[in-house]
Amino acid sequence: MKKILLPTLAAAIALSLSGCQKTGTISGQVVDAFTGKPVEMPTVWMDSTIYGTHAQKYAYKDMLKDGKFKFENVPAGKYLIKARRNKYILGQQTFTTTDKEPNKEITLYEYSDTVSPGLYIPGETPVKIANEWAIFSTTCKESLAGLRISFEQDMKASAPSQKKDKKAKKNKKDIKVNKLPDAKVVESAVDFLYCNPGSVTTAVEVAAYPAATALVSAHADCQGFETDKNGIFPDASKKTELAVEYKAEGLFSVKGNLPKGKQLIVISSNGKTLQSYYLEVK
């Protein structure tokens, strides 16, 4: 009789243990990273699980109009949750729940697929910081970045192709002197978004350096100054690192406090400078 009961008892204990596995509720909202507004009717799912707003038996479809979602009876563990909507860029996040903390509130970020690469000030009406200094940039190695103060442009040479007299002398009226645009004035506490579709999986680094006028000859690693004697360079000895956080695919938040004065904001990835911005901090 005992030989029959032992297996039955073991099965009952196993069933009891499996029934004690801690579960919780995963809830949150999908938000537009640029405007802070909810993304209506997103599709949210937890990778490699049965949990998803597209499931036929999903009970909270009405919440999706406000960008909200909820998954119940989720076993404790590590998960990857994703959000997507037509004409929006994918947002995702990893998270872990435990038996002691089985519930999790999550904010997922997405943004329109029409957003062009660059640096933005988020808000109800996001503002792109147009990189007017890009054509003044030079290619540097150790110096990180360098800006030309001015350069001459032969407007006749850049005009639509016509038969040109090679012996004709350059007319001063055909020469345009381009001067470096003024630094953009910003507050000390910065909160930017940087969009770079090429950095989907690779993190970016952002740092600020005092912008100093210096001799080009002292920065021989920079190419593109032509005949200029002076240029604007970052003072690498006074680096201010800014906090960079992943928001969505190819999108990063950039936050921190900048020293007063003119600063060069250098955005890099894997040691390579991607872009630099010329700012004046109040």
> Longest Cα pair distance anywhere in the chain, in angstroms?
115
> What pLDDT score does 94 carry?
96
Q: Return the H-helix or E-strand segment holding 140.
A: none
> What pLDDT score does 185 carry?
95
pLDDT digits (tens, 9 = 90+) for 153-181: 666 655 555 555 555 555 666 777 889 99
User: Residue ranges per domain, the chain?
Assistant: 22-112, 118-157+170-281
Residue 45, both tokens: 């799912």
Which residues share a beta bridge with 82? 45, 92
DSSP string, 184-237: EEE-SEEEEEEE-GGGSSS--EEEEEEEEEEEGGG-TT-B--TT-SEEEEE-TT
Picking from 241, 244, 246, 274, the residue whose alpha carbon sits closest to that of residue 258 is 241
Q: Return the H-helix or E-strand segment holding 149.
A: none
d(CA 69, CA 64): 6
List CB contacts of 253: < 8 A, sequence separation 6 or more: 33, 191, 192, 193, 194, 243, 244, 245, 247
- Residues of the chain with confidence (pLDDT) below 70: 1-20, 153-173, 199-202
> What pLDDT score does 272 carry?
86
List CB contacts of 26: < 8 A, sequence separation 6 or more: 46, 51, 70, 71, 74, 79, 81, 95, 97, 103, 104, 106
d(CA 40, CA 174): 54
> What pLDDT score does 130 carry?
93
> What pLDDT score does 13 carry?
36
The type of residue at 6 is L
> What pLDDT score does 163 carry?
53
The DSSP bridge pattern shows strands 88-89 and 104-112 to be: antiparallel
At 72, phi and psi to the nearest 5? -110, 165
Picking from 206, 204, 221, the residue whose alpha carbon sits closest to that of residue 140 is 221
Tell me which architecture the domain covering 22-112 has in CATH: Sandwich (2.60)
CA quadruple 234, 239, 240, 245: dihedral sign: positive
